[in-house]
Chain A
Amino acid sequence: QKEVEQDPGPLSVPEGAIVSLNCTYSNSAFQYFMWYRQYSRKGPELLMYTYSSGNKEDGRFTAQVDKSSKYISLFIRDSQPSDSATYLCAMSRLYTDKLIFGTGTRLQVFP
């Protein structure tokens, strides 16, 4: 079993839709949870990070962490064609820089 599971998609939605991206994990030691966006042939860029459980909002993006279910989500409101990219979840334990990535979900937002 992989430490982090993520549906690879692709996910295709119309502009303006609410997008829900999810990851599950098996290691209860994970404390930091991140979402990265990666455009084709580029390096990932950090979108959101959350420490432990809870919600965090930044503009159109909301990250949720449910440690009891070992489940994290990223919601994108009012999705735009420019949101079309691969979204990777990543996690790490306390006192370590090492990130464990999900496989990434490819999102396409069409006009």
Chain B
Amino acid sequence: GAVVSQHPSRVICKSGTSVKIECRSLDFQATTMFWYRQFPKKSLMLMATSNEGSKATYEQGVEKDKFLINHASLTLSTLTVTSAHPEDSSFYICSASSVSWDLSYNEQFFGPGTRLTVL
């Protein structure tokens, strides 16, 4: 199956700093990538949808100036958490969309996630 990687897998930073998380589709080209946030024992919350070469579409309540998303190529999207605060500590997961093997729908392949801890 398609592979999506995320880097770093874990990051600890001081309050006020910015953190960049990379999401790559390793063996396929993804026109659309998604960024999710997951709190402990909670479901995935979609933050934004990212299309290559265009501005990301943010979900209601997600601050676009705080969570900067860049989708520079068909295999790379980045999420930058700017001026991070302890409440930004969470598990961030990306996914990349590709047409399923039977061409019936667009399947999302998820990365392994990045655990962010802001001190």
Contact = CB atoms under 8 A, between A and B. Distances in A.
Interface string A3-17: 000101000000000
Contacts of A98: 34, 46, 49
Contacts of B49: 97-98
Nearest to A39: B112
What range describes how many residues of B lie at the interface? 20 to 34
A25 interface: no
B113 A43 contact: yes
A49 B107 contact: yes
Contact of B110 (A8, A44, A92): A44
A44 B44 contact: yes
A49 to B, nearest CB: 7
Nearest to B95: A43
Contacts of A6: 43
Contacts, number: 53
A42 interface: yes
Contact of A51 (B104, B106, B107, B110): B104
B100 to A, nearest CB: 8
A6 B41 CA distance: 12
B93 interface: yes
A104 B108 contact: no
Interface residues of A, number: 22
Given A88-B43, A102-B43, A51 B105 contact: yes
A43 B110 contact: yes
A41 B113 contact: yes
Contact of A97 (B44, B97, B111, B115): B97
Contacts of B112: 42-43
B77 interface: no
Interface string B28-54: 000010100000011110100100000
Which 9 residue pairs are nearest across A and B when measured between Cβ atoms?
A43-B110, A103-B43, A101-B43, A101-B44, A43-B112, A97-B106, A97-B97, A44-B110, A43-B113
Interface of B: 4, 6, 32, 34, 41-44, 46, 49, 91, 93, 95, 97, 100, 104-113, 115
Given A6-B43, A49-B107, A97-B49, 6 more contacts: A41-B91, A88-B44, A97-B97, A102-B43, A103-B42, A103-B43
